Amino acid sequence: MTRKFLLALLILAMSFNLACAAEVQNEGEKAPEQPKILARVDGIDITEAEVLQFLQGMGAQAMMFYGTEQGQKMILDEIISLRLFALDAAAKKLDETEEFKTSLENIRRSLLANADVREIVKDVKVTEDNAKKFYDEHLNEYFKKPEQIRASHILISDDVNSVDIIADIQGALSNGVSFDELAEEFSLDPGSAANGGDLGEFPRGVMVKEFEEAAFNLQNVGDISEPVKTQFGWHIIKLDEKIPESTIKFDDVKEQIIHNLQDAKSSELLKKHSDELEKVYKVERF
């Protein structure tokens, strides 16, 4: 990564860390009593904790790249550069420009809004019992996995040569040639031919009607259909797997349900609070 790109990442990380600083404190995280000082710029320390905080705010991909000792040294160098630029800007009185003041005010508003949101939703709780109730009430709606099959096919064009090609394929199958090999040789479906015609798993309602009926009517794994005509041409279908209807276990989705319910409750609470605030403060929409 270029230095210019790293600087951009660090600036984004600074914004992220500013927005999250209050939240981290609310969660009870405490700074080390004796932070390890890595550098000092104009009398102001840069600590190891600060470098790590910037690293966390840069995203997973950047963390993989800069998570090494050498990568953290690069981040430290760029933080030093940012401190120097800030000092230079202050010396030039750039913080007195209207553009700077506007940006600073926008940041202040954003931090205040985030702090208010955290305050409003801090008591939103969803228990395991709440999650289980939602699971039971929406079992068929969200947590049933319908019957599925996994199938492969050979797609043949619908033209004057279709009959001969189909006869050749069926003859080869009768003589023990593998379906996968024939799909790779004859199938016109670019998405599956190279994989032996494999279409993966699918439930009812995904494929065109004629194809679906023929595929789901196959009884045993390994069964091969008669040629089936659809809008795409002719298909010879092989059943690779039958997957019966199943139910997703509560324990497998419990945490996701709790998270979703917390989000929903928080959104409802914030909407209600926003509506109330509109009665307190004058809002004009144009």
Digit-coded pLDDT (tens) for 207-221 = 999 999 999 999 999
- Supply the pLDDT for residue 8: 53
Instruction: Band the pLDDT of 252: cuts 50, 70, 90.
Output: very high
Q: What is the CATH number of domain 145-246?
A: 3.10.50.40
DSSP string, 76-139: HHHHHHHHHHHHHHHHTTGGGSHHHHHHHHHHHHHHHHHHHHHHHHTT----HHHHHHHHHHTH
- Supply the pLDDT for residue 244: 95
Instruction: Band the pLDDT of 25: cuts 50, 70, 90.
Output: very low
Rounded CA-CA distance 66/63 in Å is 5
* Burial class (CB within 10 angstroms; exposed 0-12, middle 13-18, buried 19+) of 131: buried
Instruction: Band the pLDDT of 61: cuts 50, 70, 90.
Output: confident
- Supply the pLDDT for residue 53: 84
Strand partners, 236: 154
Rounded CA-CA distance 257/132 in Å is 9
Rounded CA-CA distance 10/54 in Å is 7
Which residue ranges make up each domain of the chain?
3-121, 145-246
- Supply the pLDDT for residue 14: 53
> If you compute the radius of gyration of the chain from its CA atoms, what whole number of angstroms results?
31
pLDDT of residue 80 exceeding 60, the answer is: yes
pLDDT of residue 86 exceeding 70, the answer is: yes
For 3, the token pair is 């230095």
Per-residue pLDDT tens for 151-192?
A: 999 999 999 899 999 999 999 999 999 999 999 999 999 999
Give kind and range of the element (H or E) at residue 67: none
pLDDT of residue 230 exceeding 90, the answer is: yes
With both helix axes pointing from N to C terminus, report the angle between 250-280 and 128-137 in degrees, rounded to the nearest 10: 100
- Supply the pLDDT for residue 72: 84
Which of 2-11, 45-54, 82-91 is modeled with the greatest confidence? 82-91
Integer CA distances (angstroms), 89 to 12, 40, 147, in order:
19, 18, 65
Q: Name the average pLDDT for the chain.
A: 89
In contact, 36 and 108? CB cutoff 8 Å: no
Spell 60-86 as b/e; 16+ CB within 10 A means b.
eebeeebeeeebbeebbebbeebbeee
Per-residue pLDDT tens for 120-157?
A: 999 999 999 999 999 999 999 999 999 999 999 999 99
- Supply the pLDDT for residue 249: 96
* Burial class (CB within 10 angstroms; exposed 0-12, middle 13-18, buried 19+) of 274: exposed
User: For the range 13-18, what are the long-range contacts, defined as Cβ-Cβ under 8 Å and sequence gap of 24 or more?
Assistant: 13/54, 13/55, 13/56, 13/57, 13/58, 14/54, 14/57, 14/82, 15/107, 16/57, 17/53, 17/54, 17/57, 18/107, 18/111
Give kind and range of the element (H or E) at residue 156: strand 148-156
Integer CA distances (angstroms), 162 to 20, 194, 214, 227, in order:
64, 21, 19, 10
Rounded CA-CA distance 162/167 in Å is 8
